[in-house]
Amino acid sequence: MSDLLLFPSGVSMGNAAMKTPLALDRLPISHVLSAGIAGGIDPAHQMGDVVIADRWFHHSEAAHLDPKSDGACYVKPDDLRPPRENFGSMFPDHVRAVRDGMEEPQRQAFFPADPSLLDAAKRAVATVPPMTYAGREVQVSVGGNGISGPVSMDKREYRK
């Protein structure tokens, strides 16, 4: 049996990126599994629910562009090739990342979670005691999509 350490990092990937190395520096941690409200993209989840996602999307990799002076269209940089239509002046793009075995950065829509960690999370969730938030029982689940970024994204149409 292994020990499990749970700690809140706060809202935003920036907080997680800051607090996770602090824990790694101070404790003998072998694996890290991130969880959260999954960006509120599934209306079945409520504030305080915990979702351990299969796939993590990053919503803030985007260009925010001003329209041309005639207002008819936007001037896009040559290297911007967004995978979907713009949302107003925001042009969402994939994250460019280099992973094991890659020589050059490649565009990725999401980062998959490690299957063995997801299996461990499923086993662990079954042992989590009931928790409450704002007077209701918190739901803890494994699976589905998570989305995060360094800004709060409360745009229903964009999440669709």
pLDDT of residue 18: 86
In DSSP terms, which residues pair with 139 in a beta bridge?
none
Q: What is the pLDDT of residues 13-50, one digit of tens each?
A: 778 888 889 989 998 988 887 766 655 567 788 878 88
Instruction: Supply the mean pLDDT for the chain.
Output: 82
Sign of the Cα pseudo-torsion (37, 40, 44, 46, in order):
positive
Amino acid (one-letter) located at 103: E
The residue ranges of every structural domain in the chain are 1-54+114-160, 59-112
Query: Rounded to whole angstroms, how far apart are CA atoms 26 and 125?
Result: 25
pLDDT of residue 70: 81
Q: What is the pLDDT of residues 98-132, one digit of tens each?
A: 888 889 998 888 889 899 989 988 998 888 889 89
Tell me, yes or no, if the pTM score tops 0.85.
Answer: no
